[in-house]
Structure 1
Amino acid sequence: MSIHRLKDHWREQRMFLGRVVAAAIVVTLLAGLLMYRLVDLQVVHFEHFSRLSQGNRVRLEPVPPVRGLLFDRAGRALAENRPVYQLELIPEQVKDLEQTLADLQALGLVRAEDLPRIQGQIRSQRRFEPTVLRARLSDEEAGRFAVHRPRFPGVDIQARLARQYPLGPAAAHAIGYVGAVSEADLQRLEGANYAGTAQTGKIGAERAWEDLLHGTTGFRQLLVNAQGRTLQELERNDAVPGRNVYLTLDLELQALAEAQLGERRGSVVALDPRNGQVLALASMPAFDPNLFSMGLSSARYRELQEDRDQPLFNRALRGQYPPGSTIKPMLGLAGLHYGVTVPQDTVYCPGWFSLPNHSHRYRDWKREGHGTVDLEQSVAQSCDVYFYRLAVTLGIDRMHDFLALFGLGAPTGIDIPGELDGLLPSRDWKRTAFRRPQDQVWFPGETVITGIGQGYMLATPLQLAHATAILANRGRGFVPTLLAGVENPVTGQLEPAASRPLPALALDPAQVEEAIDSMVAVVHGERGTARAIGLDSPWTIAGKTGTAQVVGIAQGEEYDEETTDERHRPHALFIAFAPAENPRIAIAVLVENGASGSAAAAPVARALIDNWLAREAD
């Protein structure tokens, strides 16, 4: 067989061409896949991968805003900012977070009680955002960290502005304080706007106007190296500072109210009846809000909480006390309003009162009685028997409805948080509270003691001041406010806050004047219970003393102040406004366990009235 017959050239050629075509197809497919991937990376997903690339060398850092300041009505500083050293951590730059926190704790730079707050904040924000470990470091602590800084990548000291209260405890319950941002705070706040922010308002004005005071967080893009060190600032969007807030408080009047209370537990609230502005809101004892802005230890906080004098308790808004005889002018006005009495009607007071067919005696504070009294003298001398009878005549339903017109038993609506309701008893309230059957809901004896502001009735000092202001303004009231105005950050002009008027009460002007005249007789009458403060007054003061029992006194027993434990003595109260004919200030004073409204509370009101009206006259 010939060798040429064993070789098939055509077949080999076809096989070669097939292999070339297959290789070309494979090369084409691979080239197409490569081109597709290039287009996908560089065109379709360019923005996405560009951002990922930037993240390797560019860090976005928040720029916290400067918190706005708080001033009183005259522009005196109540809350300022001062530079401090702040210890911060950036989670994405820390390899072992738990060990880092443990090492910082060992150096005394992080407190054990702060760890839950720190860990919660780290979980709630993005890993490139700084977390505040300590809001304020002392110079010694800053130096200690500087020595050990190489051990803590991702942890550094930053110069920040921190809250400072130059007046210390003065007006602490009204101003409030700032504290570390908690997980609960982050749920109510806009998280992105609090990046890099260590503190937020907790109570008082700091909490009420947090949105105005905080401002808007900015950011800056930083070029950093592999170790996280800043090489260059690429872009900056400046933060918008918070707005300055002016309060209606008068610092001089506030300081006087607190000085008048001194070491005693109590509260003073002063309002301008013409617009509802709060001139003074004192609750004593107080606390230093700087303790909270600096970072209060749990041990110190527990000590404040367990103090039996309760310095953290805002007595002005949250203290609920029997109003005692301070409601008598309003109750007398209720008698006139419903037509169950006239100013000239008289009642004989033998020193006690009994319901028909009952032997129980409801005693008057004056054992021998007041004799025959009319409306004016019953208020001036604070005759209990007159108001026992009037309460029974009116009945609990009309008493409730009329006193509610003056804001008792409900929040006043003041623009700082924390206010409690007080309690204005009624049949409906008792039916719900005690789940009593219809025929056992309310008893006549409960009506009797409600007539002198005892029993179930409770009111806060703010409510008493608010009710006094409505009466002083002849039935025209305003929602109490602490906001005087907000400073425009662009123009620097103060934008005043508008007052919030309440619907005017439908009262007979002549009857209102009868009630006011009876309060004037309390201070300026010959037998008025507060005549001691009216003897040399250059203005006409309308007032009413009150005493609220803390513990009951059994039938046949007598109250002996000297043998009674100090904390079991009655609370002393006094409400007042002046000048009576054209009121410019309305006041409620409460002195816990002060025993006598005329001796303990009335002089405080007189001091504030003198101070305010004398300065207004200048």
Structure 2
Amino acid sequence: MIKKRESIRNHSAESNLFMRRTLVVFIAILIAIGILISNLYYLQISSFEKYQTRSNANRISVQTVPPNRGLIYDRNGIILAENRPVYSLQVIVNKTKNLEQDIKGLRKLLSLTEQEVTNFYEKKKYTRSFKPIIIRDNLTSQEVAEFTVNQHKYKGFSIQASLRRFYPFGDAFTHVLGYIAKINTSDLQKIDQRGETARYRGTNYIGKLGIEKYYEDLLHGEPGQRQVEVDSWGRVIRTLSFTPPVPGKDLKLNIDIQLQIKAQQLLGTNRGSIIAMNAKTGGILALVSNPSYDPNLFVKGISTKQYQALLQSTDRPLINRTTQGRYPPASTIKPQMALLALDTEVITEDTVIFDPGWWQVPGSKRRFRDWKRWGHGKVDVTLAIEQSCDTFFYDSAYKVGIDRINPFMEQFGFGEYSGLDIGEETKAIMPSREWKKARFKQPWYDGDTISIGIGQGYWTVTPIQLTKATAILARRGEIIEPRILNSISSANGEFIPEAKPAEKTIKLKDDHYWDIALNGMYGVTSRRNGTAHRAFENTSYSVAGKSGTAQVINMKEDEKYDASKLKESHRDNAMFVAFAPYESPELVTTVVLENAGGGSSNAAPIARAILDEYFDHIVPASTETAAGN
């Protein structure tokens, strides 16, 4: 019998092995805990600010709050440019669940058009998914209500309320106010160059023309900031902090709405312009260019078809004729020519010439015709202005010469910017020998000077230049700058008048020369032989003026003007400048009608109507109007 051998167990060794394994596990646990604690320390203490910022970025949204644009009023406090609330439907693409399905639903709910849907998908291609895209602009109150009720079905979609510029009088003030429109790439570059990127963050619109552009810095205001807490869909839960924006300054203009609308009505369908200016302050009371257009089209976003129609129109409604229209001044500048002839002692108050109906340069066979083919007979300087005798001024201009005409007329503002607070302006042309040499590579001829003597030839002016020059005459040489802006709103809501530039004066050898020229202008409207006396019969005020009939095309020496045989665009321009009262001028007006014919028969009655409106309906006659107050 085999006897089994029992194994002997080593309990001590097993105990040591267990202890070693336990120690290893314990150390491993300690290391794991250490790593965990270290990681917690890193996350909770060392990197607390970093991860808090990242967390807040998901939870807190910082929004720029654009400022309200300043309002624009006429001198009586009637609003000309305001901000109206509008509602837009917008979407943030990366917040949606099923974009295509949502769009289909909205097409039924809000009757989205095919064009709106197409435009949305086109915008989506070029817009980052976290940026809002507007689907429909200018929602009605009914549409806002319908969407609000169903908003829970459309994650990522929301109604955005904002203020939009609105011009309540439409095309009546377009060439004064201009308009605002959406900021484009060119605008962004200019903003960046000026270092104003932060100021325009959150702003979609900027002044493009007129007062809106010229005073953009005042009207825009300063943006504010809002910190809001949002949910996972980007919806605002609550506002954490708010820094209010600073609204733009309100502007009060010198424009009088009653006179402005009257001027527009008087122009009717005529192409042309009317300006009315306060002779004491330079305040522009009316500034109308016709035809015009509705500036609200540009605020909403003008269609290509509408814009092309404006661009291609032969009437050129986009041109501000008051500051950009260039016309030969014709006989409206004869009072200034008379002043120059007197001041250079080419003539005296008693100088008399005989006008047979023509004049010619000594040694030349060419005859320069007077508008009155049989002539005016014997005329002095006063009668020459009253009856607009061309022959008298042909002779005076020839004797004075272009080298003295140019610098003298520049003092009246011809060939220079008027100083009007609108950026859209041209200097027109006040010709000289040097100008013609540079422009045409030709010398100056005596015949050029003769034409300049009656405001024809190379000489062109803008209506605002004519207005300023007439005001200088009325003020006997005191130069005044025309201004549209009257005053700017302050922090307490009061309007502070704009500071006026220092005035300069044109000096003549004898101040009596002013009286001679002005007396001639008074005769134009108030004496029997005056070219416009019929238009100003029985006025309640005294008035002085000067008519002008500007040739658009050159006529042959013996050719007779017959408007019926000419294309409309080749017919004469009718012009008239006037101021009243004669003794103490308050109002200066300029009327320019394109291709309308004679200035006395067509433009003078309109000038009379403007003066009547002002003195009989806007202010009492002979009462000073402080448009700058």
Q: State the TM bucket, normalised to the shorter chain.
A: 0.7 to 0.9
When structure 1 is superposed on structure 2, of 86-95 and 476-485 the one drifting more is 86-95
Q: Secondary structure at the match of 2:619?
A: helix
TM-score, normalised by the number of residues in structure 1: 0.86
Task: Give the structure 2 partner of residue 11 of structure 1.
Answer: none
Q: Retained in 1: the 8 A contact 2:335–2:520?
A: yes
Task: Give the structure 2 partner of residue 308 of structure 1.
Answer: 314
* Inter-partner Cα distance in structure 1 for 2:186 and 2:153: 32
- Say if 2:296 is the partner of 1:296: no
Q: Retained in 2: the 8 A contact 1:254–1:281?
A: yes
When structure 1 is superposed on structure 2, of 199-208 and 278-287 the one drifting more is 199-208
Post-superposition Cα deviations, 1:540-573, rounded to whole Å, max 9, x if no partner, equal: 2110000111112122211112222222110000
Task: Give the structure 2 partner of residue 379 of structure 1.
Answer: 385
User: Closer, same or farther in 2 for the Cα pair 1:227/1:442, shift >3 Å?
Assistant: same
User: Closer, same or farther in 2 for the Cα pair 1:482/1:513, shift >3 Å?
Assistant: same
* Mapping of residues 40-51 of structure 1, within 5 Å: 42-43=45-46, 47-51=49-53
Q: Retained in 2: the 8 A contact 1:59–1:128?
A: no
Q: Retained in 2: the 8 A contact 1:65–1:242?
A: yes
* Inter-partner Cα distance in structure 1 for 2:528 and 2:324: 36
* Mapping of residues 117-156 of structure 1, within 5 Å: 136-138=138-140, 154-156=156-158
* Mapping of residues 124-523 of structure 1, within 5 Å: 136-138=138-140, 154-189=156-191, 190-434=196-440, 436=441, 440-488=442-490, 490-507=491-508, 508-523=510-525
Counterpart pick for 2:603 among 593, 601, 604: 601
Task: Give the structure 1 partner of residue 115 of structure 2.
Answer: 108
Task: Give the structure 2 partner of residue 13 of structure 1.
Answer: none
Q: Secondary structure at the match of 1:280?
A: strand
Post-superposition Cα deviations, 1:106-129, rounded to whole Å, max 9, x if no partner, equal: 74337759968x988x69xxx977
Task: Give the structure 2 partner of residue 574 of structure 1.
Answer: 576
User: Closer, same or farther in 2 for the Cα pair 1:216/1:96, shift >3 Å?
Assistant: farther
* Inter-partner Cα distance in structure 2 for 1:390 and 1:449: 11
Q: Secondary structure at the match of 1:408?
A: coil
Q: Retained in 2: the 8 A contact 1:135–1:198?
A: no
When structure 1 is superposed on structure 2, of 459-468 and 344-353 the one drifting more is 344-353
User: Closer, same or farther in 2 for the Cα pair 1:535/1:527, shift >3 Å?
Assistant: same
Q: Secondary structure at the match of 1:411?
A: coil
Q: Secondary structure at the match of 1:340?
A: coil
* Inter-partner Cα distance in structure 2 for 1:445 and 1:593: 25
User: Closer, same or farther in 2 for the Cα pair 1:499/1:98, shift >3 Å?
Assistant: farther
The amino acid that maps onto 2:573 is H
Q: Secondary structure at the match of 1:267?
A: strand
When structure 1 is superposed on structure 2, of 154-163 and 210-219 the one drifting more is 154-163
The amino acid that maps onto 2:212 is E
User: Closer, same or farther in 2 for the Cα pair 1:113/1:341, shift >3 Å?
Assistant: farther
Aligned-pair Cα RMSD in Å: 3.3
Per the TM alignment, residue 198 of structure 1 is displaced from its structure 2 partner at its CA by 2.8
Q: Retained in 2: the 8 A contact 1:325–1:452?
A: yes
Q: Secondary structure at the match of 2:172?
A: coil
User: Closer, same or farther in 2 for the Cα pair 1:357/1:56, shift >3 Å?
Assistant: same
Per the TM alignment, residue 137 of structure 1 is displaced from its structure 2 partner at its CA by 3.8
User: Closer, same or farther in 2 for the Cα pair 1:242/1:134, shift >3 Å?
Assistant: farther
The amino acid that maps onto 1:397 is D
Q: Secondary structure at the match of 1:108?
A: helix
Per the TM alignment, residue 203 of structure 1 is displaced from its structure 2 partner at its CA by 1.0
The amino acid that maps onto 1:84 is V
User: Closer, same or farther in 2 for the Cα pair 1:140/1:379, shift >3 Å?
Assistant: same
Q: Retained in 2: the 8 A contact 1:542–1:577?
A: yes
The amino acid that maps onto 1:241 is P
Per the TM alignment, residue 425 of structure 1 is displaced from its structure 2 partner at its CA by 0.2
* Inter-partner Cα distance in structure 1 for 2:279 and 2:501: 12
Per the TM alignment, residue 390 of structure 1 is displaced from its structure 2 partner at its CA by 0.9
Q: Secondary structure at the match of 2:338?
A: helix
Per the TM alignment, residue 140 of structure 1 is displaced from its structure 2 partner at its CA by 7.8
* Inter-partner Cα distance in structure 2 for 1:551 and 1:113: 52
The amino acid that maps onto 1:367 is R
The amino acid that maps onto 2:467 is A
The amino acid that maps onto 1:406 is F
Q: Retained in 2: the 8 A contact 1:479–1:501?
A: no
* Inter-partner Cα distance in structure 2 for 1:335 and 1:82: 57
Post-superposition Cα deviations, 1:127-178, rounded to whole Å, max 9, x if no partner, equal: 9775666653456876897799789765532122212211122122101112
User: Closer, same or farther in 2 for the Cα pair 1:393/1:420, shift >3 Å?
Assistant: same
Q: Retained in 2: the 8 A contact 1:323–1:548?
A: yes
Per the TM alignment, residue 210 of structure 1 is displaced from its structure 2 partner at its CA by 1.8
User: Closer, same or farther in 2 for the Cα pair 1:236/1:567, shift >3 Å?
Assistant: same
* Inter-partner Cα distance in structure 2 for 1:255 and 1:89: 43
The amino acid that maps onto 2:302 is L
Task: Give the structure 2 partner of residue 616 of structure 1.
Answer: 619
Q: Retained in 2: the 8 A contact 1:132–1:196?
A: no
Q: Secondary structure at the match of 1:393?
A: helix
Post-superposition Cα deviations, 1:372-404, rounded to whole Å, max 9, x if no partner, equal: 111111111111111111111111111111000
Per the TM alignment, residue 315 of structure 1 is displaced from its structure 2 partner at its CA by 0.5
When structure 1 is superposed on structure 2, of 188-197 and 422-431 the one drifting more is 188-197
* Inter-partner Cα distance in structure 1 for 2:457 and 2:100: 57
Task: Give the structure 1 partner of residue 527 of structure 2.
Answer: 525
Q: Secondary structure at the match of 1:449?
A: helix
User: Closer, same or farther in 2 for the Cα pair 1:386/1:199, shift >3 Å?
Assistant: same
Post-superposition Cα deviations, 1:58-98, rounded to whole Å, max 9, x if no partner, equal: 11122222222111001011112222112445577589999
* Inter-partner Cα distance in structure 2 for 1:288 and 1:114: 30
The amino acid that maps onto 2:540 is P
User: Closer, same or farther in 2 for the Cα pair 1:229/1:33, shift >3 Å?
Assistant: closer
User: Closer, same or farther in 2 for the Cα pair 1:548/1:148, shift >3 Å?
Assistant: farther
* Inter-partner Cα distance in structure 1 for 2:97 and 2:391: 78
When structure 1 is superposed on structure 2, of 534-543 and 405-414 the one drifting more is 534-543
TM-score, normalised by the number of residues in structure 2: 0.85
Q: Retained in 2: the 8 A contact 1:110–1:134?
A: no
* Inter-partner Cα distance in structure 1 for 2:497 and 2:307: 37
Give the number of aligned pairs: 586
Q: Secondary structure at the match of 1:382?
A: coil
The amino acid that maps onto 2:604 is A
